[in-house]
């Protein structure tokens, strides 16, 4: 199994390599791909060095699968070229997510939508992935009408530059900035650019992607996405209005039985999910499970996951594992 990782030198790309190794994906040859300035550099995989090549060179090496994490413009240019060469692309950027001809996949939720003909498969936004993993089993049981979500997102979601800005500010060092404002000891209620409707691009991603992944246009979503000075994972406060009433004990049972979800919900002992506890883990953690007493059939939850793992790298590798299990690679 020849595997290309496009964007191998970036924050998510290096996490892709780590996850491929940890999950023992059957890589016989790794092809790390990055921009021209990184060509010839080496990345380590399972203790062996591999030289970075260009996307053009990688296509000529005929990998079975190419996992992209190099930004939307790179994906728009190169994913079709890989696909045209018969290489299956799993793309972590926003480039193809809302393309009606492309599948947007969280394996636990909608892997069954995939076919051998899907040559470009989109990996959803990190904040959407962790939310739909929790929403899906509850939707199947109670029917979701509306979701109100506020996110508390790690600086790692922006990349190395943002992590550097946070650490520089913490140490009183002047340096390059990823954000328009100070992030240490602050909260920035903007992720990505603002759109004409007053929402940010990140907020509208959550709205549209949730509906596409869950395959139900009836679900209404409204989001506020916020950057906070933490590393380790994204947190979400989620309010869910159902078609019918629910039993809290049953909700906990449903979530505890959901693959990839761990319930951490013991308020009496101050036990609930936090980003530092989700760091470097593949599961999605859910707690603060309680009834919304302001209206009928409505539930409040707190959801936390490592945005670089299940929110990006792990989800992409799980898609590859599903395809490989079907002998489609």
Which positions ≥6 away from 167 have C-beta within 8 Å?
A: none
Query: Who contacts 312 (Cβ-Cβ below 8 Å, separation ≥6)?
Result: 12, 15, 16, 69, 92, 123, 126
* Cβ contact 170:144 at 8 Å: no
CA distances from 322 to 104, 136, 287, 316, 317 (A): 14, 19, 29, 10, 9
End-to-end CA distance of the chain: give it in Å, rounded: 8
CA dihedral 281, 287, 292, 293 (to 10 degrees): -170
Q: Could you give the C-alpha distances from 72 to 19, 96, 213, in angstroms and in order?
A: 22, 8, 20
Query: How many other CB atoms are there within 10 angstroms of residue 133's CB atom?
Result: 26
What three-state secondary structure class fits 165?
A: helix
Q: What's CA 273's distance to the chain center, in Å?
A: 18
10 known ligand binder: yes
CA distance 135 to 284: 12
SS3 321: helix
> Could you give the residue numbers annotated as active site?
126, 234
Q: Is 12 annotated as a binding residue?
A: yes
Is 323 annotated in a binding site? The answer is no
288 in a labelled binding site? no
Q: Is residue 295 part of an annotated ligand binding site?
A: no
Contacts of 6 (CB under 8 A, 6+ apart): 13, 33, 34, 55, 58, 66, 67, 68, 69, 70, 74, 78
Q: Which of 69, 61, 75, 74 is nearest to 29 (CA)?
A: 61
Instruction: Single out the residue of 31, 36, 24, 35 nearest to residue 5, CA to CA.
Output: 31
Residue 218 is assigned to a ligand binding site: no
Binding residues for phosphate: 97
Binding residues for NADP(+): 9-12, 37-38, 307
Binding residues: 9-12, 37-38, 97, 153, 227, 307
Binding residues for substrate: 153, 227
């Amino acid at each position: 199994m020849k595997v290309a990782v496009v964007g191998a030198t970036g924050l998510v790309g290096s996490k892709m390599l780590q996850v491929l190794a940890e999950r023992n994906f059957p890589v016989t040859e790794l092809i790390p791909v990055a921009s021209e300035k990184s060509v010839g550099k080496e990345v380590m995989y399972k203790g062996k060095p591999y030289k970075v090549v260009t996307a053009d060179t990688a296509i000529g090496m005929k990998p079975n699968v190419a996992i992209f994490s190099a930004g939307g413009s790179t994906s728009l240019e190169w994913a079709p070229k890989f696909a045209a060469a018969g290489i299956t692309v799993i793309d972590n950027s926003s480039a193809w997510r809302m393309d009606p001809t492309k599948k947007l996949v969280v394996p636990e939720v909608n892997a069954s939508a995939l076919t051998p003909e899907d040559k470009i498969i989109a990996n959803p936004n990190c904040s959407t992935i962790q939310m739909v993993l929790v929403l899906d089993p509850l939707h199947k049981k109670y029917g979701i009408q509306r979701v109100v979500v506020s996110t508390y997102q790690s600086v790692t979601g922006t990349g190395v530059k943002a992590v550097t800005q946070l650490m520089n500010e913490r140490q009183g060092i002047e340096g390059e900035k990823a954000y328009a404002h100070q992030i240490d000891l602050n909260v920035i209620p903007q992720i990505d650019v603002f759109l004409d409707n007053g929402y940010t691009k990140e907020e509208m991603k959550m709205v549209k992607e949730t509906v596409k992944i869950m395959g139900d246009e009836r679900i209404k979503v409204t989001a506020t996405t916020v950057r906070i000075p933490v590393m380790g994972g994204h947190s979400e406060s989620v309010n869910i209005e159902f078609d019918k009433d629910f039993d809290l004990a049953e909700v906990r049972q449903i979530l505890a039985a959901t693959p990839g979800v761990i319930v951490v919900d013991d308020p009496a002992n101050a036990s609930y999910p936090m980003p530092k506890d989700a760091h470097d883990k593949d599961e999605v953690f859910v707690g603060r499970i309680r009834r919304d007493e302001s209206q009928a059939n409505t539930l409040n939850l707190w959801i936390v996951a490592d945005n670089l793992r299940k929110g990006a790298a792990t989800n992409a590798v799980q898609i590859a594992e599903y395809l490989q299990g079907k002998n489609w690679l």
